[in-house]
Each structure stands twice: as structure tokens, then as C-alpha cells.
Structure 1
């Protein structure tokens, strides 16, 4: 049965978001280019009802996108230099990291307005929120730590001013933690560092951390395989994904991708990874008959070679997007209620 997946590539240099329709494995078609603000950064984050949001770093706004109409709906003012965001479970609130304001904005998605800013440290970047919505972890790039925020006052009483920072988990002042992902079981936070040759792994129960050496600086994004057994880390400087065993915290292999990999998302239904190639240069591939052009996503079949050992070559292909793709996310239109899809389709036709 055909699927109804959309991949959203944040194209920084173009000021756009490219939309790729996916109907099955290897079946990709670019269907739309959505104009947003200047220098969009970070992946488009979606509520369950198909409202998408992306940061416009040079305009101090976030754009709201409609996943069905594939249009920009509105812009909401936040702090200076918005870089990363996360939607609080329940879909009422959105957190936005402001790299220029050294804060996190709280946006009320019913009122479509910023209602509070939380001071957090110098130059915060990307973040994650636990599945229960009670805790957020934010990379504070300029100060070299991960800020742990207690969101209980927000999620239980709507009190944005009651959000508190309960810990600053040290990574290293020179490491520059950039992005993070919470493991599927919720017990660990994996942190990619742009200026350290290791991934930092935080125990969520104790806030203690340890390092996993990947050998090169340039960590950018982290995702997990559908079975939760492996963490995948893009390392921009060597154009590779490093594979880490989540239990042993040992690097088991690397996967060559396009030049300057940054964003990363995994389609859990067919075990396919999508990586944004941010570099403007073409890089020769070790995969026969495949060169990695700039301004593409590298599409990797994660089941085509083992992840737990350095054996075999992964099947990969390029998908063309806009200029300077920095992040990629996906949304399954089939998760929208039928009446909601019909309502939006009727609005588009009208």
C-alpha cells in the first residue's frame, strides 16, 4: 500500500523549506518549495494535527507551516537568533532556543504568541523534551553544558514563568554541544559536539555523563535506529555517520554520506535514514557509481549492511533539495484524522 510521507528539508541559503513526497521505499518526488524567513535553521517540528514550525534565525521569528496545504501560515516573534525548538507533548506549547538572546522562548500555540523567556546561558542551540513533557534538555553551545529544565509548572498548570533550570550538566567549555537526542527508553541523552571528537552521553537518572570517542570533531545531529539499539551521529568534518551501540557505548562502524552532513532523520517503517548534505562542494563516494552532489539528501537503506560490524556497503541514493540544507524531518499525513485531511483539502481547493 502506498504511503503518504512528506520529508521537509530546511534550506538555509535559499530561505525555503523543500518538501519531498515519499510513497514507498526509494520513491521520492519533490513537490513543493515553501518560502519562509531569512536563514531558516533546525528541523521543522510538527504537532499531531499537522502544524509545522521552523526557526528564521536572521529575522527573530518562527514560521508556521501547514503540512497539508504546504504553505506558510504565519510568523511568530521570539527572541534573537532562534536556532532550535521542541514541541511540548500535548501540542499546546513550543520551546524555542534563542542563540542571540541566551534564552528559551515559550510560545503558546493556541494564542500564537511568545508568553515567556527563560534565561539559559550563552548561545543555546538544539534541544529535546522527555516523552512525559516534564523535562527539557538544551545544548548551551557557548558555555559548554546541557541545561536541564523542569517543565512541570508549564505542563500541569500552564505557568510558563514557573519553568526552572534544575541542573547545568557539564560537557566541556571548548566542546560546544550542538544538538542532542533522548534515547527511546528515556534513560540517556546523547549529545553531539561540534568542537570535540566525542559524543557525550548523559544518564537521565543521575545527570552523570561519559564520553564516546568518534575520532573527529564536527558532531551535528543524532537519531536512533527503529529498534533503539544504535545511535547514529552525523560528523560534518569527515562526511560520515558514526554508529554507536546504545548498550555498550562502543562505535561499531561508520557510513559515508554526502559532504558536510548535518540533519538526520530515520523512517522507522522501512529503516531508511535521510541526511542533509550542507557543504557546497561535490564529494566522491566510496559507493560505486554514486557521487554525492551538494544540496541533496543522502538516502541510506540501513538494512542493506550490518550496523554492528564493519562489513558490507550500504545502499544509498541522492535526493535533490534547496541550497544549504541543514536539517530534515518527516511527517506522515496518514496520521491526521480523515476529517481533518478532508477539511484542509477542501480549503485548498476553494
Structure 2
């Protein structure tokens, strides 16, 4: 079928202007001096929205279901919650003065907030947005959570007593505090949780810690002012954002040795990976843009954003990563479904009776899906997920996430 050229042009313009037509997962970039978040469609590599947020956006986290984005206002006392379907603010959560780093637990239930101005880490319910608990930590800056959801690691920037603080999440108490000679900037865990990569002010290297003993193992030499070091799940190389030379350094996770570098913009600040493990986005605070970097050596794409972009977070699933299940004749079809981590599944009630969904891992389901209605869930991590019809428990099925 031949498409009319004017209609095709209009449709293309609409796709770029409307986030609902995004061709790829969206990236959310906090512009620190603009008090805005730039929304980038990573498929078209274009800016599709600009969202006003709490002053000094300095922490960003995408919810596990990809439906909401949390942004901390370091110059305020609140979090802004963005709905990814409309790219508009849907809630403002008061957490205390000067919230900075954010981290989600692996199940997506809890958002941990480094409330720097009040010397504590807050636990925010990701569904209700209520602050449920706090743990005292002096001047918390950034944090990360172990893959098993049992520990959180916090960089404490208290003058004269810099530390790596470990929080036991089940008890919500400080389990250890490791003194540091220099100010910790960021800390990130390896995908298996066995290694912690820590950057520090004034140290031209990444400090590698063993999480079993909380002791340093070695250093990875870098250029001047490394800001964040990360080994993303599924990536062959680790990456280090190095501010001085304006580069993204690569390292071998087996040997922890540098394997090269890629030039990005001025004063790079943060990095996140796109689904698939082949490309990353680097924010460039000094040149007001982001660099889309192909880790295999392809060309670097520069995308202009707002003033002083710092943190960036990318939606977990790639465009088109979806599967469908039909509920018909009191059965799920297919009853056995295999998908990739980050994909979504949509169930549609094609039957004449009401049905529902109850998942064995405790994830939210539905108890009232009338004929013609649908329900979707994004599966963020690998595993086997059995489920039943919440109305007719003898209807059983399984999703296997690879």
C-alpha cells in the first residue's frame, strides 16, 4: 500500500512531537540549572518533551514498571513524580531538605532517597509515594542497592568523617561504616553484587571494594576527576565517566584494566545504558548536551538538552519488547511464555466471563478483568513467574524471563 507523502510527513512530525509515539525507550535527563527534565526518544534520538520539576534535579530513577520516573530536587525538599505515558508531573512527595541520590530495590517496591540536608536515608513506597521509614546517615549523597535486595550502600560526605555506609534493608539499620580518606562521589555495584566501584574527589582512579569484607581490592587508574564507574548487566565492558578529559573510559571487568576511551562532551557527569547492552547515554554538564555512545565503536551522537544536565535514567524495556496472552475458554493462551528481561506482557480477556491475575512473586495483579479488558506487566528481571486466575485458581500458567 502506497502512503501519501503529505500524510507520511505529518505522521512523522506527530511521532516526534508526541511521547506516545516514541520509537524507542525514553531517557530522562535532569537539567540542574533549568529545574527541568529533558525527555529523549532514544529511537529517533530527539527531544520529545521538557518537564518542569523541583529545584535542582540531582537524582533520577525510573520505576520498575517503566510507568513513572522519580526526580529529586536537591535545592528543594521534595521528589517530582513523572508519568511516562504523558510526561507530566502527577505527584510531589515531601521527603526532607536536600534530597540527592535515588535507588530502587530490585522488586521495585521501595525507593531509597539520600536526604542530604537532614542526614538520613528515606524509604518511600514506590506505589503510594508515602515515606515509610528513615535510617540516620550523615550527609548521604548517592546510594545503590544489592541485587538480592538485602543491602544498600551509601556514600557519606560528612566533613572529616567520610565513609561508605552499609544499610541492612530487612532491619532498616546501619550494618557497617567504612572510613574513607577522601570524599566519596558515587558508588555502583557489579551485576552479581560482589564488587563495589567507588569514585572519590581528588583520586584519579576507581576504588574497587569487595562487598563480602567491605575492604578495598584494587584501583583502576583513570584520567583526572572520575565521577561514576559502572558495570551494567549484559555489557562486555565497564564504563567510567571521566570529567577532566571529557571521556568515557572502558575497562575489562575480568582484569579491571582500562581497554580504551571514547571522547564525549564537556564535563561529563552521569551515564546509563540503553536496553540491549550496546549503547549508553552520557550527560555533559559543561556543554548542555548528552552523548549517545556505541560501545562497539560506532559514531557518537550528540543530543542538545537543557542547562547543566546531570543525572540520566533510561526506561528498562526496548520498543517492541512485548508479548500477548489471550484468556479464552477458561484458559491462558499460551500457557507457557518465554520473554526477555525488560519485556512486557499484556493479558486480554477474550472470554465471556470475568477473570483476574495473581502472581506467585507477589507483584500487583488484578481481580476484576471483565470481557474485553486488558492488563499489562513489565518483567524487569530474569526468573520463572507462575500465575493463576484470581477468580478461577485452577487456571494456571507461567512466564519465563530470560
Tell which deviates more after alignment, 240-249 or 33-42. 240-249
Partners of 2:23 and 2:86 lie apart in 1 by 18
Q: CA deviation at 1:250?
A: 1.8
Determine which of 60, 85, 98 is the counterpart of 2:115: 98
**Highest Rg: 1 or 2?**
2
What's the counterpart of residue 283 of structure 1?
none
> Superposed, which structure 2 residues align to 1:78-157 within 5 Å?
78-121=95-138, 123-142=139-158, 143-153=161-171
Query: How far apart are the structure 2 equivalents of 1:315 and 1:11?
Result: 25
Distance 1:112 1:42 in 2: 16
**Structure 2 spans left out of the alignment, 5+ residues:** 1-21, 322-342, 347-373, 378-402
Q: State the secondary structure of the residue aligned to 1:258.
A: coil
> Structure 1 residues 265, 109: closer, same or farther in 2, change over 3 A?
closer
1:89-127, Cα deviation, whole Å (9 max, x unpaired): 222221100111121011123432222221112x21111
Contact 1:190 1:200 in 2 (8 A): yes
Alpha-carbon contact 1:179-1:221 (below 8 Å) kept: yes
Matched, 1:329 2:345: no
Secondary structure of 1:100's counterpart equals: helix
Do the aligned partners of 1:42 and 1:84 also contact (CA within 8 Å) in 2? yes
TM-score by length of 2: 0.71
Q: For 1:167-178, list aligned pairs within 5 A.
A: 167-172=176-181, 175-178=182-185
For 1:186 and 1:213, locate their aligned partners in 2 and report how far apart those are by CA, in whole Å: 18
Match status 1:20 vs 2:40: yes
* Runs of 4+ residues over 6 Å off in structure 1: none
Say yes or no: does 1:197 pair with 2:197: no
Cα RMSD of the aligned pairs, angstroms, is 2.1
Deviates more, 1:241-250 or 1:7-16: 241-250
What is the aligned partner in structure 1 of residue 92 from structure 2?
Answer: 75
Q: Runs of 5+ in structure 1 lacking a partner?
A: 154-162, 280-293, 305-313, 343-350
What secondary structure does 1:263 align onto? strand
Compare 329-338 and 60-69 and name the one that shifted more: 329-338
Aligned residues: 303
How far 1:241 moved relative to its partner?
1.8
1:250 corresponds, among 243, 249, 257, to 257
Note if contact 1:194-1:217 (Cα within 8 Å) is conserved in structure 2. Answer: no
TM-score, normalised via structure 1 length: 0.80
Number of the residue aligned with 1:284: none
Counterpart Cα distance in 2 of 1:271 and 1:214 = 24
Select 2:61's aligned residue among 2, 25, 44: 44
User: Tell me, what secondary structure is at the counterpart of 2:54?
Assistant: coil
How far does residue 321 in structure 1 lie from its aligned partner after superposition?
A: 1.0
From 182, 186, 199, give the equivalent of 1:179. 186
